[in-house]
Amino acid sequence: MHWTLAHRAQKMNPSVIREILKVTERPGIISFAGGLPSPKTFPVEVFAEACAKVLKEDGHSALQYASSEGLVALREQVAAMLPWEVDPGQVLITTGSQQGLDLVGKVLIDPGSRILVETPTYLGALQAFAPMEPEVIGLACDEEGPLLQDLQHQLGVDTDPTDAPTEPARRRLLQLDLEPGRTFPRFMYLLPNFQNPTGRTMTEARRKAISEGCWALGLPIVEDNPYGDLWFDAPPPATLTSRHPNGCIYLGSFSKVLAPGLRLGFLVAPPDLYPKLLQAKQAADLHTPSFNQRVVAEVLKDGFLDRHVPTIRSLYRTQRDAMLTALDRNMRELDVTWNRPDGGMFLWVRLPQGMSAIDVLPHAVEKGVAFVPGAAFYAHAPDPRSLRLSFVTATVDQIHQGVAALAEAVREHRDRT
Ligand SMILES: Cc1ncc(COP(=O)(O)O)c(C=O)c1O
């Protein structure tokens, strides 16, 4: 049989991270590689009770087909949970926020459409968008997020985009642009809170500038925020979507605050765009499992997240602190640098000049520790010195042991080369 692959299938690649995760499943490996939340945070007993209750009280509906928009009660809970005024009618329940990315890609990207992303950015988004064959443009970024000057450069505007919005720009944003325009980017994909992979957070000043600039120029924003609730010392600044809801699609998830196995996320879209995303959702999977939606709606009753999320914050803060201490102890004299994330699950490390994280990885695995080389997260021109460490799944002891082993691998690799 001769199978002829569609052009878009040729754009699909195995996830580098999933390949690395296979190695980390070997017994004895301390893994800083995965993007998995700590299973200690999964409220198993609460789910056992909620499942039993849903089956007893609502079993037949919970096991039936349901509407594509999602369970009304859950959409109302999501709208009430978000810290800006959201109409539950604009909430679409998705099968993980990963599905939100897929739907956004299907609805907004034509082959050759330009899309803007951070440098580096979430690998799963690059994978979700790739089959739609966009021209992906990685914006230059610093510790505070994308650089406004580079955004202006990519858009070909010399004026300060924070100037008052022009009417045509506003119209382009508010009307659904159905013409396949190849030059003006379709959207900018941003992760302002505790970004995956770097752990960085966009400052208030940068949010304001980016948000005002995009609104003025008519550039839509896709804001992905699965980690925003996992702050350690203070909540992050207001979301981009809350500033201009008509200029943004907001993606949220229950994966990091409840459990990823539920595959439950949501998006909030402006009224003009919502029906198209809904049609794409219908075609993709009809609806997100109704049983899971009902169980989560049951769990969320009575403000469960307000009690539960602080326990996750506190656990992850302890683990982040352990990793910072271990890095300080083992890596200083090696000229390795790293950042200090204010929340989330990841920390970003840079190896000394001339070293490559991909080359260090086999030595690290030999020594019993794994990480993800940063190169996986770049749309173009990867920084070979960068790597991502997750601090949430290993125990504090394992963090100390693993970072010492990683330092050993870096030292040996340096001495050999
Ligand atoms: C930035 C980002 N977006 C989306 C996702 C997908 O999450 P979900 O489990 O909701 O599909 C992840 C998962 O790690 C992520 O890091």
pLDDT band at 14, cuts 50/70/90?
A: confident
Contacts for 15-24 with beta carbons within 8 Å, 24 or more apart?
A: 15/123, 15/124, 15/127, 16/123, 16/372, 16/373, 16/376, 17/123, 17/372, 17/376, 20/361, 20/370, 20/372, 23/365, 23/370, 24/370
Task: Find the residues whose C-beta lies inside 6 A of ligand 1.
Answer: 35, 96-98, 122, 124, 191, 196, 224, 226, 253, 255, 260, 265
CA dist., res. 51 & res. 219, Å (int): 43
Q: How far is the CA of 70 from the centre of ligand 1 (A)?
A: 19
Determine which residue's CA is closest to atom 16 belonging to ligand 1. Answer: 196
Which of 196, 258, 348 to mutate for ligand 1's pocket (most ligand atoms within 8 Å of CB)?
196
DSSP 100: H
Instruction: Express each pLDDT in 171-215 by its tens digit.
Output: 554 444 444 444 789 999 999 999 999 999 999 999 999 999 999
Is the bond preceding residue 111 a cis peptide, omega within 30 degrees?
A: no
- In this model, does residue 20 exceed pLDDT 90? no
Ligand 1 centroid, distance to 111 Cα (angstroms): 24
Greatest C-alpha distance within the chain: 66
* Residue 251: per-residue pLDDT: 98
Q: How far is the CA of 124 from the centre of ligand 1 (A)?
A: 7
Q: How far is the CA of 98 from the centre of ligand 1 (A)?
A: 6
Model confidence pTM above 0.85: yes
Digit-coded pLDDT (tens) for 343-385? 999 999 999 999 999 999 999 999 999 999 999 899 988 999 9
- The whole-number average pLDDT for the span 310-339 is 97
- How close is the Cα of 4 to the center of ligand 1, in Å? 31
Q: Which of 255, 256, 262, 263 to mutate to test the pocket of ligand 1 (most atoms within 8 A of CB)?
A: 255
How many angstroms is it from 194 CA to the middle of ligand 1? 12
Show the tokens assigned to 41: 């945070």
Tell me the pLDDT band of 9, cut-offs 50, 70 and 90. Answer: confident
Q: Is 194 left (phi over 0), alpha (psi -120 to 50) or beta?
A: left
Mutation test residue for ligand 1: of 98, 191, 346, 393, the one with most atoms within 8 Å of CB = 98
Segment 294-306, tens digit of pLDDT: 999 999 999 999 9
| Mean pLDDT calculated for residue range 405-412 | 96
Ligand 1 centroid vs 316 CA: distance in angstroms?
A: 17
Q: Say which residue the tokens 């957070």 belong to.
A: 201
Residue 30 in this model has a pLDDT that exceeds 70: yes
Task: Say yes or no to pLDDT of 18 above 80.
Answer: no
- For residue 296, the model assigns a pLDDT of 98
Secondary structure E strands in 69-213: 91-94, 114-118, 135-139, 141-142, 145-146, 187-190
Atom number, ligand 1, closest to the C-alpha of residue 195: 1
pLDDT of 181 reads: 44
Residues 11 and 366 sit within 8 Å (Cβ to Cβ):
no
State residue 165's pLDDT score: 53
Phi-psi region of 224 (alpha: psi -120 to 50; beta: other; left: phi over 0): beta
**Which atom of ligand 1 lies closest to the CA of 97?**
10
Going across the sheet that includes 337-338, the strands are: 337-338, 346-350, 386-390, 372-373
Rounded Cα gap, residues 373 and 198, in angstroms: 12
Share of the chain above pLDDT 70, in %: 92
